[in-house]
Amino acid sequence: MVSVSILNGDLAHLAETADAVRQSGAELLHFDVMDGRFVDNISFGLPVLESLNAYTDMPLDVHLMIQNPLHYAERFIRAGADLLSFHIESDSDAAAVIDVIHRNGVRAGIAVSPATPVETVFPYLDLLDPEDFVLIMTVVPGLGGQSFMPETLPKMRALRAELAKRGRSLHIEVDGGINAETGRLCREAGADMLVAGSYLLKAENIADAVKTLTD
């Protein structure tokens, strides 16, 4: 499954970007939310998500890189999130955030930054539904266009092994520096949801680039 990050698109023409993504064969539109506190950057907020949701019928994969996701989760769901991920490193209680997301009928994801051991999410795996996911960041969160960090690959293998041990079939999403080669490495390590931005949106043909992430 491919989720296209609009953070790396032409921000003056988000509607056109959404159209191009919908026609590319990708399954999800990835929407990064940054508050300037959890990460040293500020990106999209609720009004932009509401406008995008009204414009496109693509599922919106919303990634909260914010300090207090519990305070905002329900609002982002009302604004149009179909999938909502938050960081285990945030100030909010992870179990409480998962509960809010599930009560609003949306797929939940727990995100893990590169410096955080993936084992940090293990206590919460049994709170997740089969279509939920763990998002392993393969770059430092906050800025697009970074290079893939290969040291994150063992985290995917460890998580997939833990899920197998528990008899769980959760999804593993990866985000950061994803292209044909790094995407292949991630799939081999157990990931099945790939977030890509620059690689796809700067390609001559987005549909052809999407195929390189799935073939």
Residues involved in catalysis: 32, 175
Residue 51 CB partners (closer than 8 Å, separation 6+): 14
Q: Give DSSP secondary structure letters for 184-200.
A: HHHHHHT--EEEESHHH
Closest CA to 28 of 48, 56, 51: 56
- For residue 29, what is the enclosing H or E element? strand 28-34
Exposure string (b/e) for 57-70, b if CB count within 10 Å is 16 or more?
ebebbbbbbbbbbb
Task: Give the 3-state secondary structure of residue 149.
Answer: coil
Q: What is the DSSP letter of 183?
A: H
